[in-house]
Amino acid sequence: MERVSYAVGDIVRMKKPHPCGSKEWEILRTGMDFRIRCQGCGHMVMLPRAKFERAVREIVQKATPQD
């Protein structure tokens, strides 16, 4: 199975919705832990990589490259 690469700024859709109703999150930090921000209410959460990768359904929008 191919490993998906995630970048800061990517918008991902999770399997379960946040209590505010949104399933889309922006990645703020990558590494062993991921910091993500809810696109609905702005709440920030830190998750271990393994839990994050299991919870992600798809990448909705890739980050735009910065020059």
Alpha carbon distance 18, 3 (integer Å): 25
Among 4, 6, 2, 3, CA closest to 63: 6
In a domain, 57, yes or no: yes
In a domain, 30, yes or no: yes
In a domain, 51, yes or no: yes
What spatial distance separates the first Cα and last Cα of the chain, rounded to whole Å? 32
In a domain, 1, yes or no: no
What pLDDT score does 64 carry? 79
pLDDT single digits (tens) 49-64 = 999 999 999 999 998 7
The mean pLDDT value for 7-20 works out to: 96
Alpha carbon distance 23, 15 (integer Å): 7
Q: Which domain holds residue 15?
A: 11-61
The structure's pTM equals: 0.87
Tally of domains within the chain = 1
Give the position of tokens 């922006």: 26
Q: Which residues contact 5 (CB under 8 A, 6 or more apart)?
A: none
In a domain, 6, yes or no: no
66 vs 64, more confident: 64
pLDDT single digits (tens) 20-51 = 999 999 999 999 999 999 999 999 999 999 99
In a domain, 4, yes or no: no
